[in-house]
Chain A
Amino acid sequence: MSRLELYSPEGLRVDGRRWNELRRFDCKINTHPAFDGSSYVEQGNSKVICMVRGPMEPPMRSQVNQTQAVIEMNLNIASFSTLQRRKRSKNDKRMIEMKTTLERTFEQSVMSHLYPRTLIEVNVQVLAQDGAVLATMTNAITLALIDAGVAMYDYVSAVSVGIHDQTPLLDLNVLEENDMSCLTIGVVGKSEKLAMLLLEDKMPLDKLENALAVAIAGGHRIRDLMDDEVRSHGNQRVSKLTS
């Protein structure tokens, strides 16, 4: 066991949060105007850039799907993103798993049938990792796709949750993530539907419902924060174009 006290008897976590508090969430959209859509998301100290190109003509014939758009995810984790410098190859098992998870998530939430025979290229660059990287990536991709004007059913807002003894802890940082079983979910908009659920280790079934309830509420809060950014950016643009 680690010497760190992850959850003090007073109800405080290692970084001073309560069990149901999210970390600082900051997001920007349209950070790279050269791309069709782009975003930058910070969740605590996890930092992710996402750039979307498309829907566009696929460069390869093999990528053409006659009925719907093909979504291509390119994940890249910078070698300086962790405390210990470490090179992660593209064919790393974990990377491939994250890639497929994200592809499946967004194939469901993007209205890809509207863009037959096109390719949507999503490039994700992780700059710093401090836990919940998959959640941060999901939020960044959602924002970048919205910025690109790709039709989606709803926001997908992701957040992680862990179980410490009896209490669910929302939005884990890297210290907590290493020491407890953790679950990442992607919530669809304001509903209680999940577009994504990833659990890499064991979690007691009787605690699961409790944990999911906390995570869904956290997801809704993140959706609101992202929505604020999209709206303020949109209003800014509209006022510029009409003036």
Chain B
Amino acid sequence: MSSLLSITRPTKRDSRSNDYDSDVDMKDAMSEYQDEGSKDNTSVVTPGELVTEDPTWMKGHGTYSLENQTYSSVAGNVLRLNRLLSVIPIRGRYEAETGDYIIGRITEVGQKRWKVDIGCKQDAILMLGSVNLPGGILRRKSESDELQMRNFLKEGDLLNAEVQSVYSNGQAALHTRSLRYGKLRNGVLLKVPSSLIIRQKNHSWNLPGNVSVIIGVNGFIWLSKTSSTSTAPSVNASTNSAQSALASKGGYKPGEGSVSITRLEEESSWEIYSDKNDEISASIRGTISRYHNVIKAMSACELGITEKRICMGYDASMMYADTSMLIEREAQEIICQDIIDSEKMRGD
């Protein structure tokens, strides 16, 4: 009886019918590939689909096994690494990996730790012991530090950090024990899907137009005015500014007045936890918003985001005098096409 079942066809299926045909081909390719054990990136599997009947494969993420048969549990691509079989979902939240350069926002101040929203399944943890505190690296964390944790970082503050480790339950632990990491100021945050970010050696760049970008692996991007210290790495200048900041603040500050030996100690003064933004000129604000909209266009067109592409997109966006024009769909597509074209011209 069930074979009699006939069903009204959905209307708009012309464009998909081609896809469906190619899909059948892909399934064939898939079965061949299962026999050969070669690598095929183009096949998409969906939940409940039989991936392999071979019990020798180890079951990784995105799979489950029933009676020695491995099924997919997400919609994505099959990845076979040695004897490990996993399915990488097409979409999904960012998953932290040790060593990732990320940007996050403080959501909670707790006992000796901060909770940081990094766009992950769970909030990451930043321990008081894994941040640089004013007064240098050798300073011990005392009870008074614990009490004034909110003076360093409070709810809503943005920071860049590195993933120190990932616990077995998937929660990430962060650290900011480097001059590169710490609180973020003088800029704007932009969120894009983390799948568009490619892991690179370097994630922070100075772009033309006196703007710096930090591309977090978790898909959070920070655009800010290039700080004067990073363009002119003169130790004296930074020391002076740090000390004048200290003087103006007044009150007791740990590490104040001590003779600093390394630059780290100077830099990790209270200034790095300051909430005050520098004066940002209107032209830089304009440039930042232009970069912001260029990156937004790239994420709307699902183009991988790299520093080179941002620069190319910026050049392409110059044909629009008004940056607010860039949020329109046509403009976004034109810019992305421009980026792809100029990449082809260069032969990348």
Residues of chain A at the chain B interface (Cβ within 8 Å): 17-18, 20-26, 30, 36-37, 54-57, 111, 115-118, 146-155, 170, 188-190, 210, 213-214, 216-218, 221, 225, 227-242
Given A117-B169, A151-B62, A232-B16: A238 touches B77 (CB 8 Å cut-off):
yes
B276: min CB distance to chain A, Å? 30
Q: Which chain A positions have C-beta within 8 A of B317?
A: none
- Whether B93 pairs with A57 at a CB distance below 8 angstroms is no
B62 touches A214 (CB 8 A): no
Known: A36-B91, A153-B73, A225-B10. A20 touches B169 (CB 8 A): no
Contact check, B41 vs A242: say whether CB atoms are below 8 A apart: yes
Contacting pair A189 B7 (CB below 8 A): no
> What are the residues of chain B within 8 A of A147 when measuring CB–CB?
75, 91
Which residue among B26, B62, B89, B107 has the maximum number of chain A CB atoms within 10 Å of its CB? B89
Once the chains are docked, how many angstroms separate the CA of A225 from the CA of B16? 11
- CA of A241 to CA of B74, assembled, Å: 18
Q: Which residues of B contact A36 (CB under 8 A)?
A: 91-93
How many CB-defined contacts (below 8 Å) exist between A and B? Answer: 149
B139 smallest CB distance to A (angstroms): 31
Instruction: Give the size of the chain B interface in residues (CB under 8 angstroms).
Output: 46
Given contacts A232-B19, A238-B90, contact A151 B74 (CB under 8 A): yes
Give the CA-CA distance A43 to B66 in the complex, in Å: 32
B23: CB under 8 A from chain A? yes
Residues of chain A within 8 A (CB-CB) of B122 are 56-57, 117-118
Q: CB distance B10 to A24 under 8 Å?
A: yes
What is the minimal beta-carbon distance from A169 to any residue of chain B, in angstroms?
Answer: 13
Minimum distance in angstroms from A142 CB to a CB of chain B? 9
**Are B90 and A115 within 8 A (Cβ)?**
no
Whether A57 pairs with B117 at a CB distance below 8 angstroms is yes
Cβ–Cβ < 8 Å partners of A241 in chain B: 195, 302, 304
Q: How many angstroms between the C-alpha atoms of A217 and B90 in the bound complex?
A: 29
Asked whether A237 lies within 8 Å of B302 as measured between CB atoms, the reply is yes
How distant is the Cα of A55 from the Cα of B11 in the complex, in angstroms? 34
| Least CB distance, B93 to chain A, in whole angstroms | 7
Complex: chain A residue closest to B73, CB-CB? A151
Partner among A24, A149, A152, A235 whose Cβ is within 8 Å of the Cβ of B44: A235
Q: What chain B residues lie within 8 Å of A17 (beta carbons)? A: 8
Say whether B76 faces chain A, with CB atoms less than 8 Å apart. Answer: yes
In the complex the two chains form, what is the Cα distance from A93 to B269 in whole Å?
Answer: 60
Smallest CB separation, B173 vs chain A (Å):
15
CA distance A152 to B71 in the complex (A): 10
Inter-chain contact B6/A149, CB cutoff 8 Å: no
A235 touches B22 (CB 8 A): yes
